[in-house]
Amino acid sequence: MKSQALEFYVVIPARYASTRLPGKPLLDIAGKPMVVWVAERAKSSGAKEIVVATDDLRIVDEVNQYGHQVMMTRADHVSGTDRIAEVALAQQWSDDAIIVNVQGDEPLIEASLIVEVANTLSNHPESVMATACHAIHSKADFLNPNIVKVVLDAQSNALYFSRAPIPYPRDAFATNSDLPDNMPVYRHIGIYAYRAKFLKQYATIQPSALEQIESLEQLRVLHHGYKISVSISQNAPAAGVDTQEDLDYVRSVMR
């Protein structure tokens, strides 16, 4: 008997403002706006419903032209999670619905990763969120503060996320050695699945000092004692678009 596919939703937060790449969601890649490529990738995941959540009418107009669902949200949201919570409330999705946050600057995201994170949350009823990671093998990546690391417990729940090199290999680094072969070092992949009930509570959860110090909003969730399940992916995800160099690379791939 064939098992029934998991039912989940995708929300794509897409802000027009970007300090490094103004109007980033609408930048042209092989003849289409970036955010439209993301919506198409999300559609191929088999999500029940896909909503682009934005604060700008220019994005609304473009997404509508390509036939995807889009919702105008408030401009004063502190984070993408808050924007997604507004969508979940407006769409009246049930409390047990699983909602995947796919960033609007990930035009190369694999549909399989979206499904993987949704399944991880579905398989861990004790968790309110799920995310993903993959192994780091490079000492330079391990030391890079722009690469977020995550440490897991025995059940693959997140213990902590940090821009710092964690866990720190004291003995190896004392002799300037490379990363030990047997050390579990994971790079966090910025994709999240949430239960709708938790999303509706999220705005009432107080920000934490750790979240503000590290500039990592997922630390708010851990600080207040909630569980985040983490899927260990075998492959590193395709590059997102944060800089002009990223954009040039993605354009070359899409061509």
**Per CATH, is 8-131+187-248 categorized as 3.40.50.150?**
no
- Of the pLDDT bands very low, low, confident and very high (cuts 50, 70, 90), residue 1 is very low
Written as six digits, the tokens of 207 are 């920000």
- Of the pLDDT bands very low, low, confident and very high (cuts 50, 70, 90), residue 2 is very low
What pLDDT digit, counting tens, does each position of 11-43 carry? 999 988 877 788 999 999 999 999 999 999 999
User: Would you list the domain boundaries of the chain?
Assistant: 8-131+187-248
State the pTM of this model.
Answer: 0.92
Mean predicted confidence (pLDDT) in 211-233: 95
Written as six digits, the tokens of 80 are 């993408």
* pLDDT score recorded for residue 4: 63
% pLDDT > 90, the chain: 77
What are the Cα distances from residue 189, in Å, to 56, 136, 148, 236, 238? 27, 12, 8, 8, 10
How far apart (Å, rounded) are the C-alpha atoms in residues 106 and 181? Answer: 31
Cα 179–Cα 164–Cα 250 angle in degrees, nearest 5: 85
Averaged confidence pLDDT in the chain: 92
187 within 8 A of 149, measured Cβ to Cβ: yes
What does DSSP say about strands 69-72 and 32-33: parallel, antiparallel, or unpaired?
A: unpaired
The torsion defined by the Cα of 138, 235, 116 and 52, in degrees rounded to 10, comes to 80
What pLDDT digit, counting tens, does each position of 46-92 carry? 999 999 999 999 999 999 999 999 999 998 887 888 899 999 999 99
What pLDDT digit, counting tens, does each position of 143-152 carry? 999 999 999 9
Mean predicted confidence (pLDDT) in 154-161: 97
Nearest to 118 by CA among 170, 169, 45, 20: 45
* pLDDT score recorded for residue 21: 86
* pLDDT score recorded for residue 19: 74
